[in-house]
Structure 1
């Protein structure tokens, strides 16, 4: 049985990919932030700051963070934006949002970032209701990636941006080999030793196996209706930031 077939079987056992992902992240919510820092060798904060910079919300604007988790990307956007900027963070996993709310209270940001349960493929917001949309390590967990980007396009106002930060496929052969060794072999080990969560941290690398490479993801975003789509590799292509604009 291949890894992908095994994953598909796990999805079927619980009624689909969405409930599987929801339960998985619910179980690791308490160690999620720590594991992010360990597995990215401390780079995850830098990646989010870069993504937040591309979103570039102006004073008084409102952004949407999909798959917001513990709110780190929302926080990065607020920290890099002018006064009066607000964020709505949505996630399908209540346990992750609970961790995020506690963090926001500690930072005094609870009045600027609102966290709510929500699905990136069926966004409960009106058309043209937010000034920009972002996500970090969320898109590869969607059941239908094009549907997700279509929904993002619907809720963003004309002229607004979408910014997608995702783990990618490093293009270089040597670096790519090292990356896969680390991501597929060592990362699940980290999860087992520190998070006592082998299945969860085995899923995370394997979710990349069928995830489109950066050029293909760009095409999906364009098919969904986004204009001027570009992507930027960071740290040799470990991650990529995809940016698109909604036509005026």
Structure 2
């Protein structure tokens, strides 16, 4: 059992409360700040789902359920889905969206910590997390939990911000993240801390080969990475060893 220090408990709670404060504007801000690229990035996840006729999905740090809803809409293979998050306000927004989508029979949302998932070993065919792994205090533990709850032959898909490799693009991107994004975010959400936090975590979080190495340490095989939109985001994929069992037709 992992022991969490008092300092880490305070830090984790601060992050969760931050997302509570911006929940009502979270989707709008994502669209504006990514110029709607986040929509295309989420759709790309659906192309990398395991090749099984029936999938049970776990979406971690589900927020307002954008990823889970996108995957269900773009893949008829997902027959059951669960989204977990530690921000109750984000889950409230997500539950409204699920109800309005008519997909409440497929997707349910509940409170859940990425580093201590309540679900048993070998439960899901696919686990996902989008723009959430860098908010996990111990990313390696989060990855190990994603791995643990996967069935043998299952797959984890991770979408996260990264930094462009091209020097000029990288400089422009960092200027945007340090100087423009926090101001737009604060203006719309009323929370300057949240978007200053965002740029700091993006700049310091491992990406590319470094993040692939973390996935390998967590136990994943066939780890791959696809840079998106000049490298400002990256899609990662890793498989749990074993053979997935298809559902008879």
TM-score (norm 1): 0.92
Rounded to whole Å, the distance in 2 between the matches of 1:179 and 1:61 is 37
Q: Which residue number in structure 2 is paired with residue 236 of structure 1? A: 230
Rounded to whole Å, the distance in 1 between the matches of 2:106 and 2:175 is 40
Q: Which residue number in structure 2 is paired with residue 72 of structure 1? A: 66
Rounded to whole Å, the distance in 2 between the matches of 1:209 and 1:141 is 13
Deviations 1:115-153 (A, max 9, x none): 000011111101000111001000000111111111111
* 8 Å contact kept, 2:83–2:109: yes
Q: Does residue 171 of the first structure (1) align with residue 169 of the second (2)?
A: no
Rounded to whole Å, the distance in 1 between the matches of 2:51 and 2:231 is 26
Q: Which residue number in structure 1 is paired with residue 141 of structure 2? A: 147
Q: Which residue number in structure 2 is paired with residue 50 of structure 1? A: 44
**Which of 193, 196, 201 is equivalent to 1:199?**
193
* 8 Å contact kept, 2:50–2:154: no
Rounded to whole Å, the distance in 2 between the matches of 1:45 and 1:56 is 21
RMSD: 1.5
Q: Which residue number in structure 2 is paired with residue 60 of structure 1? A: 54
Rounded to whole Å, the distance in 2 between the matches of 1:146 and 1:51 is 21
State the shift of 1:210 in Å: 1.9
State the shift of 1:60 in Å: 3.0
State the shift of 1:57 in Å: 6.4
Q: Does residue 100 of the first structure (1) align with residue 85 of the second (2)?
A: no
Q: Which residue number in structure 2 is paired with residue 137 of structure 1? A: 131
Rounded to whole Å, the distance in 1 between the matches of 2:9 and 2:68 is 30
Deviations 1:5-45 (A, max 9, x none): xxxxxx95x94331111000000000000000000011111
Q: How does 1:177-188 map to 2 (within 5 A)?
A: 177-188=171-182
TM-score (norm 2): 0.91
- SS at structure 2 position matched to 1:27: helix
- SS at structure 2 position matched to 1:166: strand
Q: Does residue 34 of the first structure (1) align with residue 44 of the second (2)?
A: no
- SS at structure 2 position matched to 1:208: helix
Query: When the two structures are aligned, how many residues end up with a matched partner?
Result: 237
Q: Which residue number in structure 2 is paired with residue 213 of structure 1? A: 207
- Which runs of no fewer than 5 residues in structure 1 stay unpaired? 1-10
Rounded to whole Å, the distance in 2 between the matches of 1:227 and 1:83 is 23
Rounded to whole Å, the distance in 2 between the matches of 1:178 and 1:25 is 27
State the shift of 1:84 in Å: 5.8
- Greater CA drift, 44-53 or 219-228: 44-53
Runs of 4+ with >2 A deviation: 14-17, 55-60
Q: Which residue number in structure 2 is paired with residue 5 of structure 1? A: none
